[in-house]
Amino acid sequence: MTMSLENEIGHIITREVESLNRPDLYRKPIISYSSADDDRYSELKQIIGSWHMTPVELLRDVQSVISYFVPFSCAVTLDPGSKKEVSPLWAEAYMVINEYFNHINEVVSAFLIDRGFSAKTIQATHTYDPKDMKSAWSHRSAAAIAGMGAFGINRLLITAKGSGGRFCSILTSAPLIANSIPFHNDCLYYKNSTCGICIKACPVNALSVDEIDRFTCQAELVKNSKLLEHIADPSKVDVCGKCLSICPKAYIE
């Protein structure tokens, strides 16, 4: 039986993640698709800012956006909340998958191009200008549009496997079937105002109900990266994870 294009792409991404052979760090990925002409991509220019690009601004003949999420293991997800300072385990998981996303994207792009479609990859992280903290693309927003999850009060996307993990995107001219099923928001604060512990967990008070102070948050990440410079290039391990790790929805089986 011939697999659909969507299933083939999902199989490739899952295979490549599994080939890392790091079940101590990662679980099976979630893959979903959205239509490049979904009105919500244009709305991001109002929600995020005019600098956020739509799919067609990045790839002229784009028809679909591939979104995928690699969830962290339970040990990785919960570790930042158990540490007084930065978690080396979290930093390792963050760094390894961010670098490996380049490989996954290349494999998926080669598959699509071989079948006559165009493809454009977007780097996994550091897509922002550190001077103004403006990013031209939000992997999490694309994943939300693809029905993969909903945002919690900590501005992180809660998926069926929690929010602990990393997202990436690939644009393509392939006409993929978009996920049209809305994702129920599992954030306890938005559901019944019974939580909000992520706000209290922020070590620099950068997070509030109304906003996130990106510059204060980034300063904390840079400080943490210097504490980890003995294990990695600081530019690759500017991490924290405390507002995520403490969340009751950070890890879902």
HEC profile of 139-185: HHHHHHHCCCEEECCCCCEEECCECCEEEEEEEECCCCCCCCCCCCC
Contact 9, 114 (CB under 8 A): no
Residue 25 within a domain: yes
The domain tally of the chain equals: 1
Looking at residue 1, its pLDDT comes to 56
Does this model's pTM top 0.85? My answer is yes
pLDDT > 60? residue 24: yes
Residue 252 within a domain: no
- Give which of 182, 187, 185, 171 is closest to 68, Cα–Cα: 171
- Domain with 202, as residue range(s), is 5-245
Helix (H, G, I), strand (E, B) or coil at 65: strand
For 31, 59, 74, 138, 158, the CA distances from 185, given in Å and listed in that order, are 18, 31, 21, 19, 8
Please count the other Cβ atoms lying within 10 Å of the Cβ belonging to residue 154.
26
Identify the residue whose tokens are 């939000």: 138
Confidence of residue 252 (pLDDT cuts 50, 70, 90): very high
> In the chain, how long is the greatest CA-to-CA distance?
54
Residue 213 within a domain: yes
Average pLDDT, the chain: 94
Residue 253 within a domain: no
